[in-house]
Amino acid sequence: MSSRFTHFTTHLFLASWTCLALVGCGGGIEVAPVRGTVFLDSKPLADATVIFYPSDGRPSMGITNELGEYELSYIREVKGAVIGQHKVSISTYLESDPDSSDPVIQKGRPEIVPDRYNTKSTLTAEVLPGEEVMADFLLDSEPATVAKSK
């Protein structure tokens, strides 16, 4: 009886520890790595915030480098985005804060990306399980034009 109790207790402890570890790493939510490149008017877009919003759950975010490349983070230690369909927002706006010690934040940054890619975004992406998603975005600062027929 003592052996069964010890065996049961050991398994219970391991199961509890595993559950706690999963909760600490994002609640057991399945994510997949996501990276890509953002271009505005055929040029790499630096210092843009890329956010993937799933239909349910926490969004993932990344910042583009000087080559327009980004990698999403779900939470601090977990890279990627939740599996499924996402609405995507891309923005360069950064509110100024004169009290910040960071000169970029002190100054702020204007929005150069049209609102159809952020506040009124029409961008979407699908994150599939088990594979790295490459999500590149080719943005245009000019409004879409419609050819008129005579």
Domain CATH number, residue 93: 2.60.40.10
149 in a structural domain: no
The three-class DSSP label of residue 112 is coil
20 in a structural domain: no
Average pLDDT along the chain:
82
Q: What pLDDT score was predicted for residue 134? A: 94
89 in a structural domain: yes
- The answer on pLDDT for 45 being more than 90 is yes
Average pLDDT over residues 48-74: 96
Pick from 128, 110, 107: nearest CA to 32:
128
Angle at 84 between CA 58 and CA 93, to 5 degrees: 50
Average pLDDT over residues 58-79: 96
15 in a structural domain: no
> pTM value?
0.75
Report the number of distinct structural domains present in the chain.
Answer: 1
Better-scored residue on pLDDT, 22 or 109: 109
Quote the domain boundaries for residue 123: 29-139
d(Cα 79, Cα 47) in Å, to the nearest integer? 19
